[in-house]
Amino acid sequence: MSKEYKFVNQTSFYRGKVRDVYGFGDHLLMITSDRISAFDVVLPRLIPFKGQVLNQIAFHFLNATRDIVPNWLISTPDANASYGIKCEPIPIEMVIRNYMVGHLWREYSSGKRIVCGVKLPDGLVENQVLPSPIITPTTKAHEGHDQDISLDEIVKQNIVSQELLDQLVEKTHLLFKRGQEMALDKKLILVDTKYEFGLYKNSIMLMDEIHTPDSSRYFYLEPYEDLFSKGLPQKQLSKEFVREWLIKNNFQGKEGQQIPVLTDEFVQEISERYILLFTEITGLAFQKEDQKDIHNRIFNNVNLFFSHAQ
């Protein structure tokens, strides 16, 4: 699903790793494709229904967090499409973590004890809960890898002011707390996630997706303590299993590495895991949209939305 559409009154187009963004003056149409990325590299196979899963999970959580911070979303014209307000992006990702896992664990296990300016004690082990959530921001790269950065360095580099950063930190903690509460309600643990913010009329606005498997990591609540006490891998819902498969096949997005071939069976497994994640996280049944002519479906539904919106 890499088709570029041409819409009436369209003013711009930008292709991200997973989303295609169409500008309409001070509004945006974001189409979530079935592309999948890992280690900041777009993999060569499409994952059926992945775009629909991400778009509908984002819709679910954006609507559930509007009381904490306004967000960009106005409507979802298609299962893979969202329409909303164009913000001025703040070029950092607010990554918040509550467990020693993923990138944080990889950095720590390599010997680092300071990550993004956050000091970590010796003796931590994989999947261990931290005393309290920590924020480990990254710079937002248009191409290549996002880079870790500390909160202090964000201000020193004049990326944002201290006043604005303080607000972003507060909103990040509040959103994460809400996400954790919603996860616990479904017997899940929201392990870590990231938020992207922008400015609209000089006010902070939440952008993009939130609490989806592409931006977040979930553990199952019930077996967590037992698995952790035994030093076993956690049962989780996230994209981490794709990263782990790539690592086992000698790929971490580093220069000179070849992307391994994704078999039909593995592509199907990824698709099924994404659909499972949707139902587990939201508690809703997943209704598969017709994918036989997905390009025309999206194009027609979006145009129908625009015709009614005029």
| Of 226 and 209, the one with more pLDDT | 226
Q: How many domains does the chain have?
A: 2
Other beta carbons within 10 angstroms of residue 239's beta carbon come to 23
pLDDT per residue as tens digits for the range 133-190: 999 999 976 555 578 999 999 999 999 999 999 999 999 999 999 999 999 999 999 9
Residue with more model confidence, 238 or 60 = 60
Query: Which ranges constitute the DSSP H helices of the chain?
Result: 50-63, 102-109, 151-156, 162-185, 224-229, 240-248, 264-282, 294-309
Regarding whether 295 and 214 lie in a shared domain, the answer is: no
Answer yes or no: do 131 and 178 share one domain: yes
Closest CA to 290 of 52, 57, 46, 54: 52
DSSP string, 150-182: -HHHHHHTTSS-HHHHHHHHHHHHHHHHHHHHH
> Is 23 buried (19+), middle (13-18) or exposed (0-12) by CB count in 10 A?
middle
Residues 57 and 106 in one domain: no
Query: Tell me, what CATH number does 164's domain have?
Result: 3.30.470.20
Q: Which residues of 210-236 are buried (b: 16+ CB within 10 A; e: fewer)?
A: bbbbbbbbbbbeeebeebbeeeeebeb
- Find out whether 190 and 218 touch, Cβ atoms under 8 Å: yes
User: HSE of 246 in the Cβ direction (CA atoms, 13 Å)?
Assistant: 23
Range of the domain at 76: 12-86+284-309
Q: Who contacts 267 (Cβ-Cβ below 8 Å, separation ≥6)?
A: 45, 46, 47, 48
Whether 2 has a pLDDT exceeding 70, the answer reads no
Q: Do 138 and 204 have their domain in common?
A: yes
Query: What does pTM read for this prediction?
Result: 0.87
d(CA 275, CA 260) in angstroms, rounded, equals 24
Let me know whether 43 and 169 are in one domain: no
Q: Can you name the residues that pair with 38 across neighbouring β-strands?
A: 41
Task: Note whether 126 and 144 are same-domain residues.
Answer: yes
The CATH number for 33's domain is 3.30.200.20
- Same domain for 163 and 215: yes
b/e per residue 69-95 (b: at least 16 CB within 10 A) = bbbbbeebbbbbbbbbbbbeebebbbb
Note whether 214 and 243 are within 8 A (CB): no
- Write out pLDDT tens, residues 242-300: 988 999 999 998 889 999 999 999 999 999 999 998 999 999 999 999 989 999 999 99
Sign of the alpha-carbon dihedral angle for 249, 252, 255, 260: positive
Confidence of residue 241 (pLDDT cuts 50, 70, 90): confident
pLDDT band for position 113 (cuts 50, 70, 90):
very high
Same-domain check for residues 32 and 173: no
**101/199 same-domain check:** yes
Q: Where does residue 288 rank: exposed (0-12), middle (13-18), buried (19+ CB within 10 A)? A: exposed
Lowest mean pLDDT among 117-121, 124-128, 133-137, 254-258: 254-258
55-99: pLDDT as tens digits: 999 999 999 999 999 999 999 999 999 999 999 999 999 999 999
